[in-house]
Amino acid sequence: MRDPALTYALVALSAALMAIGFAGAWLASNLAKRLTAQVLTMLGALMVCVVIGASQALMLAGGALIFGYALVGVAVLVRLQEAYGTIELQEIDAADAQAEAQETTP
Amino acid sequence: MIEDAIALARVHAPLLAVAAPIAGAALCIVTLNARFGWIIGVFASLISAAIATDLAARALVFGAPLRTAAEGVALVPDRLGAFAAGVVSVAALLAAIGAGARASASRDGALTIVLVLLSAAGWLAAAYTTNALVLMLGTEIAWLAGVGVVALGGEGKRTPLNAAARMLSVGAVGVAFSMVGLALIADATGTLSLSMLAENLSFDSQPFSVGFALVLGGVALKAGVAPFHLWVGAAFTRANAATLLAVGCVSAAGALLAIVRVVSYGVVAPEFGAAVFWALAPLGVACVVIGSVQAIGARDLRRLIAYALTAQMGGVMLCVSLGSPAGFAAGLIQITAIVGAGLALFGAATVSESYKVNDIDGLARRAPFSSAAFTFGAASLIGAPMTIGFLGRWRLVEAGVGVDWWWPVGAMTLASLAAVFYGGQLIERVYFRRAQEVQARSGDRWRYASFPALAAGVIVIALGLAPQALLAAADAAAMVAP
């Protein structure tokens, strides 16, 4: 038997975690921080599932997806660091803009 | 003996169609040889496409019942899923062949083919299942594979890595939406089986509505539906053939078909019909307007095509928002048109090595086959008569007028007018301009691997001229809806 007040509190807490992660994933300029924020967003969603009492299959699938996203994210980060020498989004965007300008200049 | 084997294969057809690309990917990754991997990939995709189209033809054209294995692991498809898998598997076959254009680079080329195959397997699993959780898993596996395809698609340039990071951000938000959405749906109905939603739905439908909207939002992010298409421009600007065909066509088709299927089950409950309409119709109009404006302003050819396809997706959203079998059938035809035009246009851009819009000036004199594919694809985007694009729009008009619903007809007219600008521009440049400066071609003959994708241009016209089988299949598939 779940206490409704506790359930609401936990849902609110999970939603807050999702919101913090979402804001970080949107605003952080360092891609490692952005990846961490993405994982936080997904963990918040997983917590909502746990609090609501979702099936084990959904929670297991959610956990596997979070792991998969983190793994691919780290792989992309490593390649970005190798290619650009940085994982700061502003520096990467500036390098891309410069490359595009050089391509279009005759 | 052979007949027994075929009968057994047909009973397990959905599982085999999904397993074939996965087995192909496993073989590719063992060898990590790009050219061998390409042959394996094409063979696996061919098997998958043969099985999926056989199942679709039997179920939708000849009216055979969809039988599944009584024991063991089985995917239980519906008719809409059979149609979806047929379209996705054929597009995946052409994408796997086209990915050979990347096969010249050894290790990354092999990995690209592995990821193209896994992406196809994910979308096929999502098409065949009637369980919302498996649908989400298939979608996410396909999306992650697509991120990998984009990341490896640099061709010596590093920009696609930036695009892959953006896709990952969008995907993570989509996963969060989908997980919470599925939990809410399961809480409201006690099941994640799409076919049992209506039976188990209580009158307290608010959690279901919120969950349903979140799941739809999660899939829409992956389809590249405007205004959720933040990743599209970055992903396609410097994309190679594998990215253009696998992500631009197969993923777009898979995600759109997933939206159609989810909605077809969601509107089983009448009280959700209006909610679905108000969720999808504004999205459709936004998609048409934003995609069209971006396509008209684009100077990069690949980006122009991607935004044009986004604008066309608005038509699918409008069709589906009707919530009727006629609307779903129109949506299926519209998706087939998008895939056909996308394959033809992206294939032509790859084969002719045209990357900027002015690269195609006077192309008809230099590359007649690519020019023909550009023409057919652009004509279908415009909705010119005798193309499948026209057919999709006509069916939407029929479905809309049938329920006195005129404004989506207006929206589609607007989409066609906008398409005259960007699609007409392509045709005008190909045939009526002289090249200011002809770019030297790379001389890489592997780019001709994308040549079969040009056949999609012929299919676009052939289905426009003789649409009976497609119309019958779409109508039969759409009858899964109420």
Q: What is the pLDDT of residues B315-370, one digit of tens each?
A: 899 888 888 888 899 999 999 999 999 999 998 888 888 888 888 888 888 888 88
User: DSSP secondary structure string, B105-133?
Assistant: SHHHHHHHHHHHHHHHHHHHHHHH--BHH
pLDDT over 70 percentage in chain B: 90
pLDDT at B397: 86
pTM for this structure? 0.92
Contacts of A18 in chain B (CB under 8 A): 176, 180
Count of other CB atoms within 10 angstroms of residue B276: 22
pLDDT at B409: 81
Question: Residue B70's pLDDT band (boundaries 50, 70, 90)?
Answer: low
pLDDT of B234 higher than 50:
yes
ipTM of the complex: 0.91
Backbone φ and ψ for B131, nearest 5 degrees, come out as -105, 125
pLDDT of B16 higher than 50:
yes
pLDDT of B254 higher than 70:
yes
What are the residues whose beta carbons fall under 8 Å from the beta carbon of B272, sequence distance 6 or more? B205, B208, B209, B212, B266
In the predicted model, what is the mean pLDDT of residues B90-112?
Answer: 80
CATH architecture of A4-104: Orthogonal Bundle (1.10)
Determine the Cα–Cα distance for residues B175 and B438; give it in Å rounded to an integer. Answer: 45
Q: Of the spans A4-13, B146-155, B246-255, B263-272, which averages the highest pLDDT?
A: B246-255
> Interface of chain B against chain A, CB under 8 Å?
133, 136-137, 140-141, 144, 147-148, 151, 157-159, 161-162, 164-165, 168-169, 171-173, 175-177, 179-180, 182-184, 186-187, 192
CA–CA distance from B286 to each of A44, B312, B408, B411 (Å)?
30, 11, 12, 10
Determine the Cα–Cα distance for residues B114 and B111; give it in Å rounded to an integer. Answer: 5
pLDDT at B32: 80
Q: Determine, for residues A76 and B164 on separate chains, whether the beta-carbon distance falls below 8 Å.
A: yes
Q: Are A60 and A46 in contact (CB under 8 A)?
A: no
Determine the Cα–Cα distance for residues B159 and A7; give it in Å rounded to an integer. Answer: 45
Burial status of residue B296 (CB atoms within 10 A of its CB: 0-12, 13-18, 19 or more): middle
pLDDT of B257 higher than 60:
yes
pLDDT at B47: 95
pLDDT of B103 higher than 70:
no
Q: Where are the domains of chain B?
A: 2-478
In the predicted model, what is the mean pLDDT of residues B8-12?
Answer: 83
Least CB–CB distance from A79: residue in B144, B157, B161: B161
pLDDT of A11 higher than 80:
yes
Least CB–CB distance from A52: residue in B136, B141, B187: B187
Whether chain B has a CB inside 8 Å of the CB on A10: the answer is no
Q: Of the spans A69-73, B61-65, B271-275, B325-329, which averages the highest pLDDT?
A: A69-73
What are the residues whose beta carbons fall under 8 Å from the beta carbon of B360, sequence distance 6 or more? B301, B352, B354, B371, B374, B426, B429, B430
Count of other CB atoms within 10 angstroms of residue B86: 25
Determine the Cα–Cα distance for residues B8 and B69; give it in Å rounded to an integer. Answer: 9
Question: Residue B482's pLDDT band (boundaries 50, 70, 90)?
Answer: very low
Burial status of residue A98 (CB atoms within 10 A of its CB: 0-12, 13-18, 19 or more): exposed
pLDDT at B85: 93
Q: Determine, for residues B183 and A65 on separate chains, whether the beta-carbon distance falls below 8 Å.
A: no
Question: Which of these, B218, B221, B229, B217, lies nearest to B290 by C-alpha position?
Answer: B229
Determine the Cα–Cα distance for residues B64 and B70; give it in Å rounded to an integer. Answer: 17
pLDDT at B213: 86
pLDDT at A104: 63
pLDDT of B92 higher than 90:
yes
Q: What is the pLDDT of residues B141-200, one digit of tens each?
A: 999 999 999 988 876 678 888 889 989 999 999 999 999 999 988 888 888 888 777 676
pLDDT of B66 higher than 80:
no
Least confident span in B56-70, B116-130, B336-350: B56-70
pLDDT at B442: 62
In the predicted model, what is the mean pLDDT of residues A31-43?
Answer: 93
Determine the Cα–Cα distance for residues B318 and B232; give it in Å rounded to an integer. Answer: 21
The residue assigned the tokens 């928002």 is B321
List the structure tokens of B332. 């299926």
**CA closest to A25 among chain B residues:** B169
Backbone φ and ψ for B80, nearest 5 degrees, come out as -65, -40
Whether chain B has a CB inside 8 Å of the CB on A17: the answer is no
Q: What is the pLDDT of residues A46-101, one digit of tens each?
A: 999 998 888 889 999 999 999 999 999 999 999 999 988 889 988 988 888 887 77
Q: Are B55 and B14 in contact (CB under 8 A)?
A: yes
pLDDT over 90 percentage in chain B: 29
Q: Where are the domains of chain A?
A: 4-104
Contacts of B172 in chain A (CB under 8 A): 25, 38-39, 41-42, 69
CA distance A66 to chain B (A): 8
pLDDT at B439: 64
pLDDT at B73: 65
pLDDT at A71: 95
Mean of all residue pLDDT scores within chain B:
85
Rg (CA), chain A: 19
Question: Residue B18's pLDDT band (boundaries 50, 70, 90)?
Answer: very high
Whether chain B has a CB inside 8 Å of the CB on A11: the answer is no
- What per-residue string of b and e applies to A38-76 under the rule 16 or more CB within 10 Å gives b? bbbbbbbbbbbbebbebbeebbebbeebbebbbebbeeb
